[in-house]
């Protein structure tokens, strides 16, 4: 009889499969990405506040600084991230509402929609940046 | 076996989570409201990109635009606080840290929302 029979028993005990063992299905990716984009958008609200405060300061009240920073490489990277996050959270949020109504739970459909949502959100962010870069934004002046 | 719940607990319908479906429901209601507001926000953000100060000043001086932006700010930050609360609930297991983070999130959305609303008031009223 072993001196401490618990040690080998513990070492060989079968573990319940968890995150590190599963091959990630695309639906797991969409689930965690929904959270990540939600957190990013929460922090991104600071940019919205900064933008509105800069506007409210009127002429030469920091709005030009904001716009210059937004047009810098780092600014554009951050804004692209926020734009994609909003697009993703929007499309996947609509899917969550559909799920709440009981639609779209079929495994094949859920996986297909996950791929569509990733593609659609990137496409939306790219189209928005293309509109702004080619000077087709700024139509509200 | 007779239930161990007190009559008050039974009538309130609350379990160990100390809350019912209110949180879930508010998250959904705000999500439904945010769907059209987000489309409007995207339209505005692109429409005001690359403009000088006078364009957004004139745009938000219109009451309907100021009210829509205020709605977007309030509802999205409320939705954000509800969402972040779920993330904290899932990953933080110490009660003290949980309360600290809940308060931090609420202070954050209150401060950010106040800044946005005061800015909108300054533009549209003063």
Q: Could you report the per-residue pLDDT of A113-136, keeping only the tens digit for each? A: 999 999 999 999 999 999 999 999
Size of interface A-B (CB pairs under 8 A): 106
**DSSP letters spanning chain A:** --S-THHHHHHHPPPPP-TTTSPPPHHHHHHHHHHHHHHHHHHHHHHHHHHHHHHHT-TTSSHHHHHHHHHSHHHHHHHHHHHHHHHHHHHHHHHHHHHHTT-S-SHHHHHHHHHHHHHHHHHHHHHHHHHHHTT------
- A123 reaches B (C-beta below 8 A): no
Reading the block at residue B54, the tokens are 């006078």
Cα separations in angstroms, A63 against A38, B44, B50, B103 = 27, 16, 11, 31
The whole-model pTM stands at 0.87
Distance from CA of A46 to the nearest CA of B (A): 6
Q: Which chain B residues touch A137 with a CB distance below 8 Å?
A: 46-50
Mean pLDDT of the residues in chain B: 91
Confidence of residue A69 (pLDDT cuts 50, 70, 90): very high
Note whether A21 contacts B: Cβ–Cβ < 8 A.
no
**What are the residue boundaries of the structural domains of chain B, listed by start?**
22-124
Cβ contacts (< 8 Å) between B108 and chain A: which residues? 42
Residue of chain B minimizing CA distance to A97? B28
What pLDDT, on a 0 to 100 scale, did the predictor assign at position A10? 58
Query: Which of B70, B104, B119 to mutate: most A Cβ within 10 Å?
Result: B119
Select from B56, B77, B74 the least CA-distant residue to B124: B56
Q: What is the mean pLDDT of chain A?
A: 90
For domain B22-124, the question of CATH label 1.20.1300.10 is answered with: yes
Contact A41 B49 (CB under 8 A): no
Q: Does residue A5 have a pLDDT over 60?
A: no
Using the predicted structure, report yes or no on whether residue B13 has a pLDDT greater than 70.
Answer: no
Q: Closest residue of B to A47, CA-based? A: B112
Closest residue in chain B to residue A59, using alpha carbons only: B53
Report whether CATH 1.20.1300.10 matches the domain A26-133.
Answer: yes
Chain-chain contact of A56 with B122 (C-beta, under 8 angstroms): yes
């Amino acid at each position: 009889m072993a001196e401490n029979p618990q040690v080998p028993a513990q070492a060989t005990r079968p573990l319940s499969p968890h995150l590190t063992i599963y091959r990630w299905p695309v639906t797991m990716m969409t689930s965690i990405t929904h959270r990540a984009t939600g957190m990013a958008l929460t922090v991104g609200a600071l940019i919205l506040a900064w933008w509105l405060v800069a506007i409210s300061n009127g002429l030469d009240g920091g709005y030009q600084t904001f716009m210059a920073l937004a047009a810098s490489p780092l600014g554009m990277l951050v804004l692209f991230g926020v734009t994609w996050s909003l697009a993703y959270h929007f499309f996947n949020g609509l899917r969550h509402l559909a799920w709440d109504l009981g639609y779209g739970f079929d495994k094949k459909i859920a996986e297909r929609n996950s791929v569509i949502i990733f593609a659609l959100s990137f496409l939306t962010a790219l189209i928005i940046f293309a509109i702004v870069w080619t000077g087709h934004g700024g139509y509200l002046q | 076996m007779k239930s161990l719940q007190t009559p008050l607990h039974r009538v309130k319908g609350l379990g160990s989570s100390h809350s019912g479906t209110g949180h879930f429901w508010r998250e959904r209601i705000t999500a439904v409201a945010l769907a059209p507001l987000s489309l409007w926000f995207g339209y505005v953000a692109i429409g005001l990109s690359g403009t000088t100060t006078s364009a957004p000043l004139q745009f938000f001086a219109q009451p309907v635009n100021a009210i829509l932006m205020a709605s977007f700010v309030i509802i999205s930050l409320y939705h954000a606080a509800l969402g972040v609360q779920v993330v904290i609930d899932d990953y933080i297991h110490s009660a003290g840290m949980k309360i600290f983070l809940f308060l931090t999130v609420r202070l954050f959305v209150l401060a950010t929302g106040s800044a946005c609303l005061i800015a909108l008031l300054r533009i549209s009223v003063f």
